[in-house]
Amino acid sequence: MNEALLLDKLRSLTVDERVGEPKKESDRSVMAEWCKSGVKFATSTGRLEQVYYAALRSLLDCIVPTGGEKPILHEGGIYLGCWLESTGTINAELLSRFMPSVSESTYLAFAEHQREDGMLPYKITEQGPSYRQIQLVTPLARSVWNHYSQNGRDKSFLKTMYAAMIRYDNWLAQYRNTRGTGCVEAFSAFDTGHDLSPRFWHVPDTPHLGDATQVNPDSPILPFLAPDLTANVYCQRLYLARMAEELGEAEGGDKWKAKAEQSLDSLYRYCFDETDHFFYDRDQNGQFVRVQSDVLLRVMACEVGDRTFFDSMLRRYLLNTRKFFAKYPFTSLAMDDPRFDPFSSYNSWAGPSNFLSLIRAPHAFEHHGRHVELTWVIQSILSAATRFTRFAQAISPWTGEEGFTEAYSPSILCVLDYVERLCGIMPRPSGELWFTGLRPYAMDHGEEPTGDTAYGRTVDQNVYELLNGEDGSVIYRNGERWISFPGGIRVITDRSGMLLGIIGMVARKVEGTIAWNGLDIPFIVSGNEQVVLAGSQFRAGGPGIGIVPPTYR
């Protein structure tokens, strides 16, 4: 690695110049916030750097004042507005690391437009809020909590969102538990955003008469007891418990934990099939709707089950090349299902790999310490990204070719997020900073996506720069060489710069020395193993969990 050359390229890079002239007035303040984050990305070769800044340019087109002066995040592409299942939750959660004011305005817009009966709009557009369906996937409370935790802990914001989510929890309990099971019910395909999925064949796209409280009375199969909706509420209640405790309501925290356990019990009792080891809808007749879809990944991202349970799902499904682990994962339907359709040129959840699945996935993996396995997904998608000329809703699981629509914020944010997770500097809600010593690998046709990489970010007025080369990695802090280490690991510090530990980020064992604070500290770390710094030595942070390899049948 030519350290001086790469560092000079990063430091001389001007993000404003790479993005170009603003197209609208609000772009100026939004870009100023990005620049305040100090986030920059440079490479020695390859196309990924070019695609990265094209993504940032397209992201500005998705941030639009809507019903007020403050800009909020839009879905992008043909989707003119902000959707709760995506833009208002997981998209805004990722954006919070780069443009937190836009994320906060996006969250607050849903609370502002909450209906008197407690229902949150499923989308907000220039025409106003819409309440036709529910459309829930990523738990709003988790996204709100993560934003709150890493952006100043504003309790007035937290109180507003907490109150709104309590009212919505009551609404769901009143109108989406008609069978008295404790599960959350789906009345239509759009309730889960699963357009064209075989999961909802012979089910209307929208609730009865366009009323989210009504189900088609003549349907022979509705309502469904929906595992993803039920898991959403389970996880939502876990984070409402954290909020209650943070706001000084100890009894409220206990109440939400008890309610969460009730949701979890209903999820397993009614939606989990022990034989297939899979979560299915259960129809009005008590039958499982045996369609293996990305419902599984959604449930796992809601923190359902322990690591052993998650590992079993990796082996049987998520890392199984007959199921969801395509060349460009994750497919929206199991590939061995005869209804599987990989065609990605239209809005479909019947097979193609959707970017919403890809940005929801990291939480499921990282929650269980499966960092290495997640990199296999990231490497495939970033290889495909080097060929992007637009930012589509989905890609072909076979070729990585872009599919339906363009300038779609989930795919834009996927590129930005995956670069940061693989070879960047990532602030965490816990107060940690992650510096990851990996580089995008030449997965496709031997074409080099980046060569050596450089990534910058400013945290609490401290300027960090991470350089990753074939011969190792170096971190600069406020212009001075600070930490050097071998590639293949993730260095963890706190926000003040104290070295806390490392994580093995590749399947092989990595052995070497970290130079920090005048010390040369030797280490040996296996894949997914986390070791912690104790004095001047690294010690195991717990038993190693090993690697879950891909499976084939």
pLDDT tens digits, one per residue of 53-65: 999 999 999 999 9
Going by C-alpha positions, the residue among 390, 429, 380 that lies closest to residue 51 is 390
Stretch 209-232: mean pLDDT, rounded?
98
Q: Which residue has the tokens 């030449």?
A: 442
Give residue 67's pLDDT band: very low, low, confident or very high (50, 70, 90).
confident
Higher pLDDT, 38 or 345: 38
What pLDDT, in 10s, does the model give residues 94-153?
999 999 999 999 999 999 999 999 999 999 999 999 999 999 999 999 999 999 999 999
Cβ contact 325:318 at 8 Å: yes
Sequence-distant (≥ 6) Cβ neighbours of residue 408 within 8 angstroms: 75, 76, 77, 79, 355, 391, 392, 393
Going by C-alpha positions, the residue among 98, 46, 91, 249 that lies closest to residue 166 is 249
Stretch 221-250: mean pLDDT, rounded?
97
**Alpha carbon distances (Å) from 6 to 40, 115, 471, 476, 543:** 12, 53, 14, 12, 38
What pairing do the DSSP bridges indicate for beta strands 462-469 and 40-43?
unpaired
What pLDDT, in 10s, does the model give residues 369-410?
999 999 999 999 999 999 999 999 999 999 999 999 999 999
What pLDDT, in 10s, does the model give residues 274-322?
999 999 999 999 999 999 999 999 999 999 999 999 999 999 999 999 9
E strand or H helix that includes residue 358: helix 355-367
What pLDDT, in 10s, does the model give residues 9-23?
999 999 999 999 999
| pLDDT at position 544 | 87
Sequence-distant (≥ 6) Cβ neighbours of residue 178 within 8 angstroms: 185, 215, 223
Distance in angstroms (rounded) separating the CA atoms of residues 83 and 44: 38
Peptide bond into 523 cis (omega under 30): no
What is the average pLDDT value for the chain, to the nearest integer? 97
Distance in angstroms (rounded) separating the CA atoms of residues 504 and 524: 9
